[in-house]
Amino acid sequence: MSSLLSEIDFGNEAADDIEPAELMPYFVKQQPFNKFIDSDYRILIATARKGVGKSALLQWIYHVTSQNDSDALVIKCRGVDRQR
């Protein structure tokens, strides 16, 4: 599957710049993402290189948890959001 995804051009859009509902039709859900919405995990931190899809993952988590009336707390911040 990873070779198929490497051949697809997803464009230059950043998940930070669009609403979750706009992203969802293009989001490729993968089995490991389920742990981010599993209540057995109390805290999870997503880390990866720039451009890998961390923001898209956070958008998906927010979308799924808000649809399911979950008690999850999704914290999303960007480097440019910090106070100076």
Q: How far apart are the first and last CA of the chain?
A: 42
Q: CB count, 10 Å around CB of 45?
A: 6
- Tokens 């923001």 found at: 55
The per-residue pLDDT for range 2-53, each reduced to its tens digit, is: 566 666 655 556 777 777 778 888 888 889 888 988 888 888 888 888 878 8
CA–CA gap between residue 70 and residue 67 (Å, rounded): 8
Confidence of residue 82 (pLDDT cuts 50, 70, 90): low
- pLDDT of 63 above 80: yes
CA–CA gap between residue 47 and residue 72 (Å, rounded): 19
User: Which tokens belong to 74?
Assistant: 């999704």
Question: How high is the pLDDT of residue 81?
Answer: 56
